[in-house]
Amino acid sequence: MVAVILVSRGLVINGLESLLKVAGWTPHRLRSVDQDDGLDTQLKSALAASPQQNPAPHTALIAAVDLVEAHRTVELVLGQCSRVRVVLVAPDSMDRDIRRAVVRALRAGADDFVSPSTVGSELALRLATGRGRARRRELGRLQRVCGLQLERGARRLRHGEKTVSLTPCEYRVFACLASRPGHTVTRATIQKDLARRSRSVSKNMVDVYVLYLRRKLGTLESSCWIRTIRGVGYALTDEPATPVPSYNATVDPMADRHLER
């Protein structure tokens, strides 16, 4: 098992690594926590060294973060692996902004938080009691949609032994359709959802990502499909349609000019 301990930047926790060793954890300092690639590499390395079937705690990754933005780091960590436990170390004296930041981090999926004055007596306990939460969080991030398994944290679709990964925009479009399977979702609704999370959304971007999703769904060989409701929008159904060409990750989405309306 792997835990990530996010320490509010500026706090000095004396003996933290020694404390973790006594509690049975192998501590490591986490570098470049704000960079996706660096975090991804370190988490994968830690997970590889801590097999899922090993019931004992194994690795604790320690990182200093800006507590106000800690919720983004939590989302980043859980996006790599939902089994990871996340505990915050927040200041003893918290103003309103810090309290709100801690709440945001907990809502994003952090398991718990402790203060510097209670680290010695409570950190190991918080990590241990996070086991059930981590499992519930993992199950909560799995969703069955039209015969597919959607891994929300990792943005993956699974059918049998086949798996495809979705880009952030593809995931947003699929999630929008999956919120009402079998019902029509208007193009305007999907475009609005994309625009909320993207800096720029072109007029035909919805059609582009629907096209890409169809290609990926085709590789899963399932009955799940996206039906066009002409002049209105799209609907996610479990009735297969004629597959489109296999997905090609090298294709430029803006190069597709002949899109289904």
| Tens of each residue's pLDDT in the chain, 261 residues | 788 899 998 888 888 988 888 888 888 887 655 544 455 566 666 656 554 444 445 788 898 889 998 988 887 787 767 678 889 999 999 999 999 999 998 888 888 899 999 888 888 888 877 655 655 555 456 678 888 888 776 788 888 888 888 888 898 899 889 888 889 999 999 988 888 766 656 778 888 999 999 999 989 888 889 999 998 999 999 875 554 444 454 444 444 433 333
CATH fold of 2-140? Rossmann fold (3.40.50)
Nearest residue to 81 (alpha-carbon basis) of 42, 125, 35: 42
Task: Compute the distance between CA of residue 213 and CA of residue 27 in angstroms, rounded to an integer.
Answer: 41
pLDDT digits (tens, 9 = 90+) for 28-72: 887 655 544 455 566 666 656 554 444 445 788 898 889 998 988
What DSSP designation does 93 have? Answer: S
Q: What is the pLDDT of residues 219-228, one digit of tens each?
A: 988 888 999 9
CA 87, CA 84: separation in Å to the nearest integer? 10
> What CATH code is assigned to 143-255?
1.10.10.10
Structure tokens at 146: 């039209």
233 close to 185: Cβ distance less than 8 angstroms: yes
Helices (H), 81-182: 96-108, 119-140, 168-178
Distance of CA 101 to the CA centre of its chain: 19
Query: Hey, what are 180's tokens?
Result: 């009402």
d(CA 174, CA 158) in angstroms, rounded, equals 13
User: CATH 1.10.10.10: which residues of the chain?
Assistant: 143-255
DSSP 192-257: HHHHHH-S---TTHHHHHHHHHHHHHHHHT-S-EEEEETTTEEEEESS--PPPSPP-TTS-GGG--
Domain with CATH 3.40.50.11230 in the chain: 2-140
